[in-house]
Amino acid sequence: MDHFLYRDGALFAEDVAVSEIAAAVGTPFYVYSTATLTRHFRLFDDALDGLPHLVCFAMKSCSNLAVLKVLAGAGAGMDVVSGGEYLRARAVGVPGERIVFSGVGKTEEEMRLTLAGGIRQFNVESEPEMRRLSAVATAMGVVAPITVRVNPDVDAKTHAKIATGKSENKFGIPIARAREVYAMAAALPGLKIIGIDVHIGSQLTELAPFEAAYQKVAELTEVLRADGHEISRLDLGGGLGIPYTRSNDAPPLPTEYGDLIKRTVGHLGCEVEIEPGRLISGNAGLMVSKVVYVKEGADRQFLILDGAMNDLIRPAMYDAWHDIVPVIEPAPGAEQVAFDIVGPVCESGDTFAKGRLMPQLGEDALVAFRSAGAYGAVMASEYNSRPLIPEVLVHGDQFAVIRARPTFDEMLSRDTIPSWL
C-alpha cells in the first residue's frame, strides 16, 4: 500500500494534488511520500520484533537528505556503500554506531573517513580489503569492527544485473572458504570480528533463496564459533522485492520475511541487521512527467514525454516495468489505446514501455510512473545536457522541494575551459 491515490478524479500524493506540485516545480520531477516511507520502515522494524535488531536503510536506493532524515527519525540505521553516502548519513545526524559500510571496493580514504567518524561495522568482501583495512586502522591506532560478507552460492532468481549471491558474482568470499578467511582476519591486528554478512541480490520475489542463504549462515555461525570466533551479529542484507505491477503475484510480506529470519537464525542469540532499500523507498516515490507530443508512427502511437532514460534508467537498464498512470483519473470504461511511451533522448533504449494500454492522452497531459522511489533519482544523470530533475517530499497537506532543478547556468559553470583554449 502507498499514499498515491486518486481523489475526486485526480492523483494525489498524500493530501497534495500531483498537478499542484507540477504547476509549482515544473515537470519532470520525483515526489516522495513521508507516510509511505515511515510505514515501510515500520513494517520491517515490527517484523523483527522480539529479536535484537537494527534495520539499516540501504540509502543507495534513495539518498536525498530529507528522505534520510525521515527514516533516521523513525529509527533507521543506514547501510552505506561509499564515503559520500557515509557523509549523507552523518549530515542528517545518524551516529556512526548506526551506520554499516558495505561494498567491494572501499578505498583507503573511505576507510580513514569512516574510522575517524565512527562506524558500526565494515562488511568486508575480500582478503585484500581485509589487509588494507587492518593496515589503515592500525596506523590510526584503532580497531575496525568487521563482518565478512560470504557468498552462499544461492540463485536469487532475479534479474542478472542485480543478482549477487552466485559464485560467479564479484561479491563476498565463497562460503566454502569462510573458515580460512576468518582465521586470517583473526590474525590481523587492526580488525575485530563481530559477525557474518550476506546479501544475495535485489528484487527477490520468493522467500526460498533467502531461506537457503540464511540456513547456510546459521550453520556457518556454529562452525565459526567452534573455531573460537565471536559471532554476535548477523547482517542479512536487503533484497526483498516490491510489486511493480498491480496484477502480478505479490512478493512476500515483511512479516513473512521476519518469520523466516526468526526461524533460520533466531536461535543463535545474535543481533540481526537487515539492509532493505527498495522495499522502503520504491513504492514511496513517483516520477511525474508531461506529454510533449503524441506522434503517429507507421503502425503505432508514440507518447513522447519530457522525462527520459537519464531521469529514470530502470526500464533501459533492467528491463523494468513501471506502472504509468494518468494524473487525471480516466473515466470508468474509457477506451484504451496502445502507446509506446518514450523520452526525448537520442537512443532507442529511451523507451519506458511498449504497447502500453492507456486512455487517449494529448499534449500537456501529466503521467506518473509508480514505484519510482528506489533506484530512480539516485541513478539519474545529465545525459543530453538535461538537468537533473527536482525531488519533492510530501507530508500530509504540505510539500517541499528537497532538491531543486539546477539552472542551465549552474550546469555550464561546472565545466572549465583550459587557459590554452
Ligand X SMILES: *Cc1c(COP(=O)(O)O)cnc(C)c1O
By CB under 6 A, name the binding residues for ligand X: 58, 60-61, 79, 102, 199, 202-203, 237-239, 275-279, 374
Residue 346 appears among annotated catalytic residues: yes
Question: CB of 61 within 8 A of CB of 94?
Answer: no
Separation between Cα atoms, residue 273 and residue 280, nearest integer Å: 15
Closer Cβ to ligand X, 237 or 307, answer by number: 237
Sign of the CA dihedral running 371, 200, 150, 54: positive
Cβ neighbors of 364 (< 8 A, separation 6 or more) are 290, 291
Separation between Cα atoms, residue 252 and residue 206, nearest integer Å: 6
301 forms bridges with which residues in the sheet?
296, 339
C-alpha distances in Å from residue 262, one per residue of 183, 221, 255, 259 = 28, 15, 11, 5
Query: Residue 114 carries which side chain, given as an amino acid letter?
Result: T
| Minimum distance, C-beta of residue 284 to ligand X, in the bound complex (Å) | 12
Backbone φ and ψ of 47, nearest 5°: -65, -25
DSSP state of 328: B
| Minimum distance, C-beta of residue 56 to ligand X, in the bound complex (Å) | 8
Catalytic site residue from 56, 62, 270, 346 = 346
Separation between Cα atoms, residue 44 and residue 255, nearest integer Å: 7
Closer Cβ to ligand X, 280 or 308, answer by number: 280
| Minimum distance, C-beta of residue 337 to ligand X, in the bound complex (Å) | 34
Overall size of the chain counted in residues: 421
| Minimum distance, C-beta of residue 126 to ligand X, in the bound complex (Å) | 14
Separation between Cα atoms, residue 154 and residue 225, nearest integer Å: 23
DSSP state of 98: G
Question: CB of 411 within 8 A of CB of 405?
Answer: no
Closer Cβ to ligand X, 83 or 277, answer by number: 277
- Of 397, 380, 398, residue with least CA distance to 389: 380
Closer Cβ to ligand X, 17 or 207, answer by number: 207
| Minimum distance, C-beta of residue 413 to ligand X, in the bound complex (Å) | 33
Question: CB of 337 within 8 A of CB of 357?
Answer: yes
CB environment 42-57: b (16+ within 10 A), e (fewer): bbbbebbeebebbbbb
| Minimum distance, C-beta of residue 51 to ligand X, in the bound complex (Å) | 19
Query: Residue 360 carries which side chain, given as an amino acid letter?
Result: Q
Query: Residue 395 carries which side chain, given as an amino acid letter?
Result: H
| Minimum distance, C-beta of residue 291 to ligand X, in the bound complex (Å) | 30
Closer Cβ to ligand X, 195 or 239, answer by number: 239
To which H or E segment does residue 395 belong?
Answer: strand 391-395
Residue with cell 560470504: 150
Closer Cβ to ligand X, 18 or 240, answer by number: 240
Closest residue to ligand X using C-beta atoms: 277
* Peptide bond between residue 28 and the one before it cis (omega within 30 degrees of 0): yes
Closer Cβ to ligand X, 279 or 288, answer by number: 279
CA max distance for the chain: 71
- Of 88, 121, 124, residue with least CA distance to 106: 124
Separation between Cα atoms, residue 309 and residue 100, nearest integer Å: 31
| Minimum distance, C-beta of residue 7 to ligand X, in the bound complex (Å) | 30
Closer Cβ to ligand X, 237 or 315, answer by number: 237
Positions marked active-site: 346
